[in-house]
Copies of this chain bind each other. A is one copy, B any other.
Amino acid sequence: MKQYYHVLGAKQFEKDELERLFDAAREMEGIVARGGDRRHEGRIMTTLFFEASTRTRLSFESAMHRLGGNVIGTENAAQFSSAIKGETLEDTIRIISGYSDIIVMRHTEIGAAKRAAQVATVPVINAGDGAGEHPTQALLDAYTIRKEFGKIDGLKIAMVGDLAYGRTVHSLSYILANYQDVMVYYISPDNVRIPDNVKKYMDEKGIRYAETNDLDSVAGSIDVLYQTRIQKERFPSVEEYEKASGQFIVDADLMSRMNKDAIVLHPLPRAGEITEEVDSDPRAAYFRQAVNGLYIRMALIDKSITESQGK
């Protein structure tokens, strides 16, 4: 039976593969600088977004075009007429497999990408499945860290914000668990702390971590501050939300207390949790991080199509 190279979750990646992927992404930077290439000319990617995520979709579509390929797709679950008529995800994937060479999928349900991969006859890339995983985001985050520092081993990384529902920090934790002497700080309001299953995974992999709700005390000693959004709807009242989120804002004052070689990351979009005055600080790496998403996705698409050819 034909095997496909799917990208379903961050746990599937081990260190060797990560390093090869990061090397491939670095190569993609050169390819984009030279105007892209045509290696996947004639290939078709379907972007199947059951929930809108415009920027993630555009990033994948740009990646496919930079490799010479074509894109078909849909962004609106409400428009996906077959689903409305009661079609199962499995039936949809079986049929879409016949129209394209790779499927990039966003869904609202945990595990949807895995279910898709079980019936697909082309590779599937998970672009986010509900509160589950968002592996390509975690890969681009890790790639950014490695690019900025030349390594991941030995770094101190603080993840800040809503650590309970923010799937990005879960996926990133699983990636970081492959590296040596990493120290992770989970910094969040008490009601949105990092889940036990993530901590258990880190324990099993022997990764050091600490939990706190005090960003200030940690800021001076870390290499990477990974900021995320805190969503109002997780809090019982607007007052409690504002009290909680107000403690975790990255502004010029906080930056003044951070190391001169530290960097600030954010999966974006941001609302107010990083103030605009920070943008001009060279340690503000979040826009550089966003562009890295293009290179990582190019590397993943290239690998998925290449290793699954001959269907």
Q: A54-B81, A57-B74 are in contact. List 19 more A-B contacts (CB 8 A).
A: A37-B42, A38-B42, A44-B65, A46-B58, A53-B81, A54-B79, A58-B99, A62-B99, A74-B75, A82-B268, A82-B269, A85-B229, A86-B270, A86-B272, A91-B268, A94-B287, A95-B268, A95-B291, A98-B290
- Per the bound structure, the CA–CA distance linking A94 and B70 in Å amounts to 24
Q: Let me know if A214 is at the binding interface, CB within 8 A.
A: no
| Partner-B contacts on A (CB < 8 A) | 35-38, 42-44, 46, 52-55, 57-59, 61-62, 65-66, 68, 70-76, 79-82, 85-87, 91-92, 94-96, 98-100, 229, 268-272, 287, 290-291, 294
- Per the bound structure, the CA–CA distance linking A95 and B269 in Å amounts to 10
A35-B44 in contact given A54-B74, A269-B87, A290-B98 (Cβ < 8 Å): no
Q: Is the CB of B59 within 8 A of A99?
A: yes
Chain B residues within 8 Å of A54, by CB: 74, 79-82
Q: Is the CB of B35 within 8 A of A287?
A: no
A86-B269 in contact given A54-B80, A61-B72, A95-B55 (Cβ < 8 Å): yes
User: Closest residue of chain B to A72, judged by CB?
Assistant: B61
Cross-chain contact of A58 among B96, B271, B294 (Cβ < 8 A): B96
- Per the bound structure, the CA–CA distance linking A35 and B309 in Å amounts to 10
A72-B71 in contact given A79-B52, A81-B54, A269-B82 (Cβ < 8 Å): yes
